[in-house]
C-alpha cells in the first residue's frame, strides 16, 4: 500500500474509514463524554447474554462490534483494521467487505452466547470481526492463492498464530468471539471471495 495521505486513505478505503470513525466516535461518547446519550449507548449496546436470553435483546449480537472497553482496546482493534481491512475492501468491493465485517462480528458474539447464554458479564469489541478478517485471509492462503502472494501469506500466518497465542494467555479476552469470528471468516470466504480480485490501489 502506498497511500500518501489521509485523504487518499479515505478515497481508496471508504468502508474501513467509516468503521474507524464509528468505533472512535462511540468510544468518545461512552468513555470521555459522560452524557446521558453515551451512557445509554453503552447500556443498550454492550454484549449481555442474559439480556438476550431473558428479554430477546437480539440487537446485542451486532452492537458490541462497535463498542470498546478502553483506549487501548479501541486503538488496538483500529490498528488491526487499518492493517488488514483496506486490501480486503479493495479485493472484494464495498458491499462484500461490509458483509464480511458484520457477519463475522455477529458470529463472534453468537459464539459467545452459545458458550454461556446466561452469562451476566458484559462483553464488547470488534475482535470477532478482526478475527473474521484473519479467517478470510487464511482461506486465501489455502484455497485462493491467486489473491495473495507467498510473502504476504507467510506474514498473515505468523500474525494469526501470534494472535491466537495471545488470545489464550492474555487476561480479559473474549476467547469465544475470537474463535467463532475466525471460523465465521472461513465459512463466508468461499462466497464473498467468489468475485474478488488481487489487491491493487
Give catalytic residues, as residue numbers: 127, 178
CA distance 199 to 156: 15
Place of cell 440487537: 59
Which residue, among 191, 197, 9, 199, has the nearest Cα to 100 in the 3D structure? Answer: 191
| DSSP tally for the chain: helices H, then strands E | 9, 0
134 contacts 160 by C-beta, under 8 angstroms = yes
Which has the closest alpha carbon to 131: 99, 171, 153, 164?
164
- 20 burial type by CB count under 10 A (0-12 exposed, 13-18 middle, 19+ buried): buried
Instruction: Name the grid cell of 166.
Output: 495471545
Dist CA 150 CA 146 (whole Å):
10
Q: Which residues contact 161 (CB under 8 A, 6 or more apart)?
A: none
Euclidean distance between CA atoms 117 and 151, whole angstroms: 41
Amino acid at each position: 500500500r502506498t497511500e500518501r495521505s489521509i485523504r487518499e486513505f479515505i478515497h481508496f478505503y471508504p468502508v474501513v474509514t467509516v468503521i474507524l470513525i464509528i468505533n472512535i466516535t462511540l468510544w468518545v461518547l461512552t468513555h470521555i463524554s459522560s452524557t446521558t446519550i453515551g451512557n445509554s449507548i453503552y447500556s443498550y449496546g454492550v454484549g449481555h447474554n442474559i439480556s438476550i436470553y431473558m428479554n430477546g435483546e437480539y440487537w446485542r449480537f451486532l452492537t458490541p462490534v462497535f463498542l470498546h472497553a478502553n483506549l487501548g482496546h479501541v486503538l488496538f482493534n483500529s490498528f488491526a483494521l487499518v492493517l488488514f481491512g483496506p486490501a480486503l475492501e479493495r479485493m472484494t468491493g464495498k458491499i462484500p467487505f461490509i458483509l464480511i465485517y458484520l457477519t463475522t462480528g455477529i458470529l463472534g458474539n453468537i459464539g459467545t452466547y452459545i458458550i454461556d447464554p446466561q452469562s451476566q458479564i458484559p462483553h464488547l469489541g470488534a475482535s470477532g470481526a478482526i478475527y473474521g478478517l484473519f479467517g478470510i485471509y487464511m482461506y486465501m492462503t489455502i484455497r485462493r492463492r491467486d489473491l495473495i502472494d507467498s510473502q504476504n501469506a507467510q506474514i498473515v500466518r505468523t500474525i494469526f498464530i501470534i494472535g491466537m497465542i495471545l488470545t489464550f494467555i492474555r487476561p480479559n479476552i473474549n476467547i469465544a468471539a475470537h474463535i467463532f469470528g475466525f471460523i465465521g471468516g472461513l465459512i463466508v470466504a468461499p462466497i464473498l471471495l467468489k468475485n474478488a480480485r488481487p489487491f491493487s490501489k
